[in-house]
């Protein structure tokens, strides 16, 4: 019973974190919800993993230990994103997109892997999908960076004024 509750809370929090993270990319408007959901996701993972720890195979313990470690890294990256929020920096920075992007890719990978594992896919297909999600996510973060990150020295709204042309007088 406790494992079902923990897994449900973990999955719901991960889903909220993913949606709030996506919505936070351009301007950081949902960073509070994103960061809170990331913490709940990581905390709910612990009882889900530990409830059957005594009967869990060694290989599964290693995998679950890695997932717990990854969830902690994701919480740290979400907190670092909060420190470099677009509202503080005048827009998304490469560091901000890197932190949020890392967590979004990890969450998407988790959703995809769980779905294909539950569908009974072979190990090679799970691994191929996991790598594919990471590659696609990385390309997506790069594209977002090209679209959203302003070059250094850029003044939002063109407050510096347009470049003036001078007329040559003959």
> Residue 26's pLDDT is what?
92
Cβ(34)–Cβ(21) under 8 Å? yes
Is 96:86 a contact under the CB 8 Å cutoff? yes
As a residue count, the chain comes to 170
Give pLDDT, residue 161: 44
Q: Classify residue 156 by its DSSP letter.
A: G
CA 149, CA 63: separation in Å to the nearest integer? Answer: 36
Q: What is the pLDDT along the chain (170 residues), one digit of tens a residue?
A: 888 999 999 999 999 999 999 999 999 999 999 999 999 999 999 998 998 888 888 888 888 899 999 999 999 999 999 999 998 888 899 999 999 999 999 999 999 998 998 899 998 999 999 999 999 999 999 999 999 998 765 555 555 444 545 555 65
- pLDDT, residue 160, reads 47
Q: What's the CA gap between 97 and 92, in Å, rounded?
A: 7
* pLDDT score, position 117: 87
Q: How far is CA 34 from CA 14, 50, 159, in A?
A: 9, 25, 32
pLDDT at position 137: 96
* Both structure tokens of 98: 């890197």
Residues 23, 37: contact at Cβ < 8 Å?
A: no
Please report, for residues 10, 25, 125, the alpha-carbon distance to residue 70 in angstroms, rounded to integers and kept in the order given: 14, 21, 22
Report whether 23 contacts 30 (CB < 8 A). Answer: yes
Sequence-ordered list of residues with C-beta below 8 angstroms from that of 21, at least 6 positions apart, any chain:
30, 34, 78, 100, 103, 104, 107
Q: Backbone phi, then psi, for 95, in 5-degree steps?
A: -65, -45
* DSSP 8-state assignment for residue 120: T
**Structural domain spans, the chain:** 2-149
Instruction: Using a cut of 0.85, tell me whether the model's pTM lies above it.
Output: no
């Amino acid at each position: 019973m406790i494992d079902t509750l923990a897994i449900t809370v973990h999955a719901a929090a991960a889903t909220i974190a993913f949606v709030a993270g996506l919505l936070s990319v351009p301007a950081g408007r949902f960073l509070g919800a994103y960061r809170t959901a990331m913490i709940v996701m990581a905390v709910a993972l612990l009882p889900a993993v530990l409830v059957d720890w005594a009967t869990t195979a060694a290989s599964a313990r290693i995998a679950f230990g890695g997932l717990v470690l990854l969830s902690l890294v994701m919480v740290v990256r979400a907190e670092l994103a909060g420190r470099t929020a677009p509202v503080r920096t005048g827009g998304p920075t490469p560091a901000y997109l890197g932190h949020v992007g890392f967590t979004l890719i990890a969450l998407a990978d988790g959703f995809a892997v769980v779905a294909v594992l539950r569908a009974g896919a072979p190990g090679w297909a799970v691994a191929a999908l996991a790598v594919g999600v990471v590659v696609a996510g990385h390309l997506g973060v790069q594209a977002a960076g090209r679209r959203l990150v302003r070059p250094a020295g850029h003044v939002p709204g063109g407050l510096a004024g347009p470049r003036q042309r001078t007329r040559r007088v003959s």
